[in-house]
Amino acid sequence: MIKYFLKRLISILPVLFVVSILAFAFVHLLPGDPARMMAGTDADEATVEMLRKEMGMDRPLPIQYLTYMKNMATGDLGKSLRTKLPVYDEIMLRYWPTMYLAITGMAWSVVIGVLFGAAAAVYNGRWQDYTAMLLSVSGISVPQFWLGLLAIQLFAVHLGWLPVAGYTGKFSELILPSFTLGATVAAVMARFTLSAFLEVLDEEYISTARAKGVAEFLVMWKHAFRNALIPVVTMVGLQFGFLLGGSVVVETVFAWPGIGRYMIEAVGVRDYPVLQALLLLYSFHFVFINLLVDMVYALINPEIRYE
């Protein structure tokens, strides 16, 4: 297990290298000149050129990339072109609110999605199955911004149970945005869990357990559920990465001080250091989440062997 972990850890280094090149190239392909935007529309060309030289943008792109990688290796992500503050500090102010939002949204999606999917499989062809899948299809179809506004109108404005927007560290402020964020993923999880459960129920060991007279409850939850979780774990990992990267709409609707909104603001002003750092951060999340999913496989099913 440890040997496999080390091999997988080494194998992701080339992936991270390629991702860093793509992130650097993508940011520099964005239209607009950051130096011109910082100097203002009334600035003369000499001022713009001075700013461009100060930011190192007058050098060839390969040199800029090497300089950026060297600084990043030492933990220096540069300074924001807009605020002049260190990018690392700016991201850390917003990182944990987004992480709390994603973790809570994932908890909603796993609990609701797995329960609905398992219930639909256990009661396949009955009203429980149809109800669970109807709710799942509705969750996929409803836009996040509309669901968020509806939740605000009902639970915050009309009933007054929860805060409208913003985040100051209270758990109650997490409920509406996290549920809105996790609703779509919960629908995907429900359908995926249903498919995995039905596939496991067709296996011979399930028929053997039933033939031996094992109680149906034990057949479902001891034999079927554990094996059905293996492909579901993969979906959980991938969807968690989606929640981190797809929280922009929810953060905007609920005025959430997260990195999703921060990225949108950085795009608007062509803040290259911030964009590069955020793109790499999102990419690192996906890579390491996939690594973590591989490790969880063995914990769920010890029969899995890695060479």
Domain boundaries, the chain: 87-300
Q: What is the CATH number of domain 87-300?
A: 1.10.3720.10
Residue 146: pLDDT over 60: yes
Q: What is the DSSP letter of 84?
A: -
Q: Are the C-beta atoms of residues 239 and 109 closer than 8 Å to each other?
A: yes
Using a cut of 0.85, tell me whether the model's pTM lies above it.
Answer: no
Rounded Cα distance, 85 and 89, in Å: 7
At residue 174, does pLDDT exceed 80? yes
How does 143-176 read in b/e, with b if 16+ C-beta sit within 10 Å? ebeebbeebbeebbeeeeebbeeebeeeeebbbb
The percentage of the chain sitting over the pLDDT mark of 70, rounded to a whole number, equals: 90
CA–CA distance, 247 with 241 (Å, rounded to integer): 10
Mean pLDDT value of segment 208-221: 75
pLDDT at 109 over 80: yes
Is the pLDDT higher at 50 or at 39?
Answer: 50
Q: Flag whether pLDDT at 220 surpasses 80.
A: no
State the average pLDDT for the chain: 79
- Residue 239 · residue 286 · CB < 8 Å: no
User: Residue 218's pLDDT is what?
Assistant: 74
304 falls in which pLDDT band (50, 70, 90)? low
Q: How confident is the model at residue 303 (pLDDT cuts 50, 70, 90)?
A: low
- The number of residues in the chain equals 307
Residue 86 forms beta bridges with which residues? 79
Q: Which two tokens stand for residue 255?
A: 């005025």
Does residue 116 contact residue 136 with C-beta atoms inside 8 Å? yes
Q: Are 261 and 251 in contact, with CB atoms under 8 Å apart?
A: yes
pLDDT score for 41: 67
- Contacts of 146 by beta carbon, 8 Å cutoff, 6+ apart: none
What is the C-alpha to C-alpha distance for residues 128 and 130, in angstroms, rounded to an integer?
6
Q: How confident is the model at residue 44 (pLDDT cuts 50, 70, 90)?
A: confident
Neighbours of 40 (CB within 10 A): 9
Instruction: Report whether pLDDT(234) > 80.
Output: no
Residue range 216-235: mean pLDDT, rounded:
74
**What is d(CA 298, CA 303) in angstroms, rounded to the nearest whole number?**
7
Among 37-51, 64-78, 177-191, 199-213, whose mean pLDDT is lowest?
A: 37-51
